A = this chain, B = another copy of it.
Amino acid sequence: MKITALAGGVGGAKLAHGLAQILAPEELTIIVNTGDDFEHLGLYICPDLDTVCYTLGGLANPETGWGRINETWNTIANVERLGGPAWFRLGDQDIATHLERTRRLREGQSLSQITRDFCKAWGIQHTILPMSDSPVRTRVDTDEGELAFQEYFVHRQCAPKVKGFRFDGVEGAESVVGAKEAIEQADAVIICPSNPWVSVDPILQVIKKINKPVVAVSPIIGGKTVKGPAAKMFDELGIEPSALAVAKHYRNILTGFVLDNADSLLEDDVKNLNVQTLVTDTLMNHLTDRTRLAEDVLHFIGSL
């Protein structure tokens, strides 16, 4: 079975990792959000892309889900001592990724080329693609005005109330070479349990058209997100946060939807959207959970 997965950060990376345990390298392509990329301390940082790569490369910090395992923090501690911006906690190993990526981008290499080389260096065999080589910048409209995504997400810790989102540059952004081909050759597209508003929507807007079965895994369980502000965003936008709200969000492209056992009461409502459902355990606390959920989702796709 050939799968193209769309992923944002931690949650998406976990399912992508599970899929990579089951599918061969030629059977899985992961397209990753770059809307939360930003330049900071002169470094070009791709948080979602790095989280997916680190996770698949076995390099991720298992406690946070982002950043590197066995990380040290000597650079950022010294930036802080010098009075520099230290609110975005960059680890020493992680900084190498940003330094070398920034160097290569300045040399004129594309983000997708750089990502391919990095994956090779990290021993990652599955294909990980940034959604676009052109900058797309998620801007969050809030009650305190419009904020750059990382300003909202990390610096302000999602405190301002969300009113809407804008993906600066998305109109002119082409998907990278291989992304459309991967979708064309796929049996299905899996939307991983990532934030619908700021992780998945930017990818969908770049990809534009998916004429394959699309199966989404809800990032909301029991009205809450495992991590991140997706539930808070639904709430502030006047939508009750739930797996159903996620299914409605994707309804125009959705063939199948995966809900957690905790949300089994919502299954019929999702079915009423003319969407097929799988109810299973979607929490991924351990590596075995990732693989099991990936297996469940692949079986579900086989049954559609």
Contact = CB atoms under 8 A, between A and B. Distances in A.
Interface of A: 41-43, 71-72, 74-79, 81-85, 92-93, 95-97, 99-100, 102-103, 106, 117-118, 121-122
Nearest to A59: B78
A140 to B, nearest CB: 24
A303 to B, nearest CB: 41
13 contacts: A41-B100, A42-B103, A42-B106, A72-B92, A74-B92, A75-B99, A78-B97, A82-B100, A83-B100, A84-B96, A84-B99, A92-B92, A92-B95
A106 B192 CA distance: 39
A134 to B, nearest CB: 21
Contact of A102 (B42, B93, B97): B42
Given A42-B99, A83-B117, A92-B92, 13 more contacts: A41-B100, A42-B102, A72-B74, A74-B92, A75-B93, A75-B95, A77-B93, A79-B100, A82-B97, A82-B100, A82-B121, A95-B95, A95-B99
Nearest to A84: B100
